[in-house]
Amino acid sequence: MHSRKLLSSTSKFHQIHLIFKNPFLGTHKFSTQSTPPHSLPEDPQILTTQLIISYCKKGLLKEARKLFDEMLERDVVSWTAMISGYTSCYRYNQAWMVFCVMKREGIEPNEFTISSVLKACREMECCYCGAMVHGLAIKYGMDGCMYVENALMDMYATCSHSMDDACMVFERIQEKNAVTWTTMIARYTDRGDGLAGLRVFQRMLQEEVELSTFSCSIAIRSCASIRSHTFGKQIHAAVVKHGFNSNLPVGNSLVDMYCKCSCLSEAYEHFHEMPERDLITWNTMIAGFERSGSHWSLHLFSQMGSQGLNPNCFTFSSVVAACANLAALNCGQQVHGGIIRRGLETNMALANALIDMYAKCGNVNDSFRIFTKMPRRDLISWTSMMNGYGSHGYGREAIGLFDKMVDSGIKPDQIVFMGVLSACSHAGLVDEGLKHFNSMVVDYSVKPNQEIYGCVVDLLGRAGRVKEAYELIEKMPFQPDETVWGALLGACKAHGISYLGRLAAQKILDLRPNGAETYVILSNIYASDGKWGEFAKMRKLMRGMASKKEAGRSWIEVRNHVYSFVVDDKMGCAQIELVYRGLEMLVQHMKEAGYVPDSDCLLYDMEDGT
DNA sequence: CTAGGGTTAG
């Protein structure tokens, strides 16, 4: 811990001299004026405290701390200024340490100190520290102060394992203000319980608390988190009624809510009608389009540039993902250039997105180049690289990365195991895959979910070990879902095992009776078994269903332009004839190499008997 | 000198 330095000159004039040398109080002003402005306090202790605050506001913590250490007498205000200075610059440990020294020196904290230090506890997610401060607050009789109560509630809501402690504080608050309500709604939403957040919002309305832009934007985020278009629209109506429409946070959260509820046209409509848009508005809309309309996302990105807005790492992470979805390598490389030009390539989230983008564009070597150059890697970096290797069939490399990741001290999660197992599955590394599956629970205490079981069923099934796959399904600790049965069905189809195939298809149809492709596979199994009566039944059921299946679309980027195709496409690009000629050549090559076309899943050709 | 709101990655 630091020691308090004593100045050689102990006069108050020395401290005032220090202050006049300081740039933030404007030395030039004082030197030209004969008397300082009246607003400046004459007490050097107060002056120094204000100087500390100015330094902290500029992020000059070292300078602030030096001044603080050199102070001859420090009252509770100076201590609190130093503590809140550290918290406002995200140095929560330092804030906490200053608080501890303060207590040791026998300075009694006030409600300002307590609420500042509670913020530090909250950010450190240290419920233990927070509870200790709670005790002090009670001891000094500050637990009736609004600021302390709200800060306590927020601390428990953020750090405690459940919302129970926060609720206890909340219910005891006699006069709840706007901050009390909004904090509660926001914390429920942060924990993924948007519905509970909305219930608090509803109670707030019942108690006739006036709506504000704050409460509206938070409540809209709650709607977004539970994808409730219904509630979202209702709050939107209230927003219009209160004239909050022109408020940016409210407008931005509305755009996000409509996007998350998959109402992209409504989102865009609102985006379009907003009187003012900032970077966050554009980022939200671009991110919203990324998932289900990547080309719109890229279009919006270029529009944003022509509006004179400078993209940040949030913008780029969506745009890189959009390029990955489209497998648009050229575009992705240009975006990568833009990232480097802005010095954002050190951003971990962006590097992760680039790894994924290059892998999905087929350049897994570029992915690895980015991966190796990263100074620090998180779980997502490793997962992205593993998935990149896995999707290119490099199972051994993916396993190697997994081991290195564990060695570097990062704990794998379910998604990492998904990556390792699917890499093993694609590379035919059955025993390695099973080994990792078994060590999941034993060595890493990660519980396998449906998807992971589906992956192991796929792993066994691809290798022809269909019976083992079925046994695994029977041993599953929960009811197998569509993905699991789908994996088994795929294996049965590939290895011509009709008995288990019929069973799997039936299970899928029980879960999702309108799955046209399942009927196709099932009818083909009946056909191959010569059960023509059943086959006819299936075909009858399928009639009228085929139209419900959406056409699969493929696309390719050539010279900065994305061309997309559907089966029997006649509308495509001008060189469509050339494309078909190329395709015929390829099919000829494949047939010469011994390829037999698989028509099991051709839905449209069924009626011709092909 | 103190408290509350909006956007991103597998």
The better pLDDT of the pair A586, A256 is held by: A256
Q: Which residue is nearest to nucleotide B9 (CA to C1')?
A: A349
Residue nearest to nucleotide B2 (CA to C1'): A112
Q: Tokens 């050199």 map to which residue?
A: A70
Three-state DSSP class for residue A80: helix
Lookup: nucleotide whose C1' is closest to A182 CA: B4
Q: Please tell me the distance from the alpha carbon of residue A276 to that of residue A267, in angstroms, as a whole number.
A: 15
> Over 70: is that where the pLDDT of A14 sits?
no
Nucleotide B4: closest residue by CA–C1': A179
Range of the domain at A56: 43-175
Q: How far is the CA of A531 from the C1' of B2 (A)?
A: 79
Task: Please tell me which residue, A279 or A541, carries the higher pLDDT value.
Answer: A279
Which tokens is A198 given?
């909305």
Average pLDDT over residues A56-79: 92
Nearest nt to the A312 alpha carbon by C1': B8
Query: Which is more confidently placed, A558 or A97?
Result: A97
A213 CA from B3 C1′ (Å): 17
Residue after which a domain boundary falls, among A145, A175, A205? A175
pLDDT bucket at A3, cuts 50 / 70 / 90: very low
Which pLDDT tens digit goes with each residue over A274-316? 998 999 999 999 999 998 888 889 999 999 988 889 999 999 9
CB contact at 8 A, A531 and A548: no
Query: Which runs of consecutive H residues, i.e. helices, occur in A308-449?
Result: 313-326, 329-341, 348-360, 364-373, 379-391, 395-407, 414-427, 430-444
Separation of alpha carbons A150 and A71, rounded Å: 32
pLDDT of residue A529: 73
A203 is a domain residue: no
List Cβ neighbours of A234 (8 Å cut-off, separation of 6 or more): none
CA of A125 to C1' of B1 (A): 24
| pLDDT at res. A25 | 40
Give the residues across from A608 on adjacent strands.
Answer: none
Q: Give me the DSSP letters along A7-33.
A: PS--SHHHHHHHHHT-GGG-HHHHHHS
Domain assignment of residue A15, yes or no: no
- The more confident residue out of A528 and A183 is A183
Candidate from A124-133, A192-201, A502-511 with smallest mean pLDDT: A502-511
pLDDT for position A568: 60
Give Cα A437 to chain centroid, integer Å: 26
Nucleotide B8: closest residue by CA–C1': A314
**Residue A159, in any domain of the structure:** yes
Contact A527/A606 with Cβ under 8 angstroms? no
Split at pLDDT 50, 70, 90, the class of A203 is very high
- Mean pLDDT across the stretch A151-164? 93
Polymer length of chain A: 610
Protein residue with the closest CA to the C1' atom of nucleotide B3:
A147
CA-to-C1' span, A27 to B9 (A): 47
Show which of A144, A175, A206 is a domain's final residue: A175
CATH of the domain at A113: 1.25.40.10
**Bridge partner list, A557:** A562
Please check the confidence at residue A329 and state whether its pLDDT lies above 60. Answer: yes
Is the CB of residue A488 less than 8 Å from the CB of residue A457?
yes
A228, part of any domain: no
d(CA A67, CA A14): 12
- Estimate in Å the CA A122 to C1' B8 gap, whole number: 23
Identify the pLDDT of residue A596.
63
Whether A523 is in a domain gets the answer no
**Quick check: A479 pLDDT over 80?**
yes
Is position A543 within any domain? Answer: no
Q: How confident is the model at residue A534 (pLDDT cuts 50, 70, 90)?
A: confident
Mean pLDDT of A351-380: 94
* Mean predicted lDDT score pLDDT of chain A: 83
| Nearest-angstrom CA–CA distance, A464 and A433 | 15
Please give the nucleotide, over all strands, whose C1' is closest to the CA of residue A181.
B4
Q: Which nucleotide is nearest to A351 (CA to C1')?
A: B9
Number of domains in chain A: 3
Q: Is the pLDDT confidence value at A556 over 50? A: yes
* Alpha-carbon gap, residue A195 to A184, rounded angstroms: 12
Q: Are A388 and A421 in contact (CB under 8 A)?
A: no
**CA angle A82-A147-A164, nearest 5°?**
115
pLDDT of residue A571: 54
pLDDT-derived band of residue A530, with 50, 70 and 90 as boundaries?
confident
- Using DSSP's 3-state secondary structure scheme, residue A393 falls into coil
Q: Look at residue A11 in the predicted model and tell me its pLDDT.
A: 35
Q: What percent of chain A shows pLDDT beyond 70? A: 82
- Beta carbons of A67 and A42 less than 8 angstroms apart: no
Domain's final residue, options A175, A204, A225:
A175
Distance between the alpha carbon (CA) of A320 and the C1' atom of B9, Å: 10
Flag whether A568 is in a domain: yes
Region A524-530: mean pLDDT is: 73
Indicate whether A312 belongs to any domain: no
Give, to the nearest 10 degrees, the angle between helix A76-88 and helix A61-70. 160
- Residue that wins the pLDDT comparison between A576 and A189: A189
Nucleotide nearest to A221 (CA to C1'): B6
So what's the pLDDT on residue A605? 38
**pLDDT one-digit tens code per residue, A390-447:** 999 898 999 999 999 999 989 899 999 999 999 998 888 888 888 989 899 888 888 8
Question: Which nucleotide's C1' atom has the smallest distance to the CA of A218?
Answer: B5
Going by C-alpha positions, the residue among A271, A239, A265, A236 that lies closest to residue A252 is: A271
Q: Considering only CA atoms, name the residue closest to the C1' of nucleotide B5.
A: A214
